[in-house]
Amino acid sequence: MKTWITSDHHFRHANIIKYTNRPYADVMEMDDELVSVWNNFVDPQDTVWHLGDFTLGGKELAAYYFGRLNGHINILGNPWHHDSRWINGMTGATGFSSKSGWMPYLFSPIVVLEEVDTNEDGDSIPAVLCHYQLLNWDRQHYGSLHFFGHSHGVSAPRHNCLDVGVDNAFKLTGDYRPFEFQEAVEIAQSLTSPS
């Protein structure tokens, strides 16, 4: 079993194609390709952290896409914008199941995952997950990591900080895909902040 992290699929959002220059003729082609790529990387028993802007549609459309995707999906969501049409007012995983049968769990806008790696002193460090990029985050000066979405691959690189959205994945890997969690850790740690 693996853990994956991703963001900003924008299922059924036609304008995202032109906003981010995605190479698709229409939204149906984009959505089918994004689902196919996801399922080529993610196995049904894997865990996926999705950091928001999952779909522009309502609850029925969100349920449709969850039903097509592999993995145990955890959604942080962007409840103030794109995900507000389906996430607001929900607690837990009411009404959704993924292809694997898992009911996606909806978390608060910020989640801290403890002990994702160790720093140079051998102390465990966390990862702070949020849809939006943070300037400062919990235990940043002790080597903690920050994963975010929203910026679609245009944020300046910063040490220990990574845009995990599909547009940045395409920029870094050539595929609109999730990052395997340890891969995201290694990329974030290799980045240098601008001086």
Please check whether residue 139 is in contact with residue 118, taking contact to mean a CB–CB distance below 8 angstroms: no
Chain length of the chain: 195
pLDDT digits (tens, 9 = 90+) for 25-60: 999 999 999 999 999 999 999 999 999 888 887 788
Domain boundaries, the chain: 1-195
Task: Give the model confidence (pLDDT) of 151-195 as tens digits.
Answer: 989 999 899 999 999 999 999 999 999 999 999 999 999 998 776
Question: What is the token pair recorded at 71?
Answer: 């993995």
Beta-bridged to residue 165, according to DSSP, are: 7
Distance CA 43, CA 3 (A): 10
| Rounded-to-integer distance, Cα 97 and Cα 73, Å | 9
The pTM (predicted TM-score) of the whole model is: 0.90
Please tell us whether the domain made up of 1-195 is placed in CATH 1.10.150.240: no
Give the separation between CA 30 and CA 26, rounded to whole angstroms.
Answer: 6
Nearby residues of 59 by Cβ (< 8 Å), 6 or more positions away: 85, 86, 95
